[in-house]
Amino acid sequence: KLGIDVLGVDSLVEGLSVRKQQTKIPILVLGHTLPELFDVARSAGIAVTISTFESLAYAQEKGKSKKPL
């Protein structure tokens, strides 16, 4: 209905707010997300960008889930 394939948002907070209204559209957080919140994003079906090697290492360590991050 929105005519878009993926919605880019600034923060996980914004993504979670959108997710409450739009349950099926893919959402990508373009701003920084703390690694501690990766599981929150994953649970909500929200993809995040990774901008540091530390965040990448954390995601790889916790990446055993079948749901993408």
List, for residues 13-50, the tens digit of each pLDDT value. Answer: 999 999 999 888 999 999 999 999 999 999 999 999 99
pLDDT reported for residue 62 = 75
Q: What is the pLDDT of residue 65?
A: 62
Q: How many residues in total does the chain contain?
A: 69
State the pLDDT at residue 53: 94
What pLDDT shows up at residue 38? 93
- Between residues 48 and 2, the one the model is more confident about: 48
For residue 35, which of 68, 62, 67, 14 has the smallest C-alpha distance?
62
* pTM exceeds 0.75, yes or no: yes
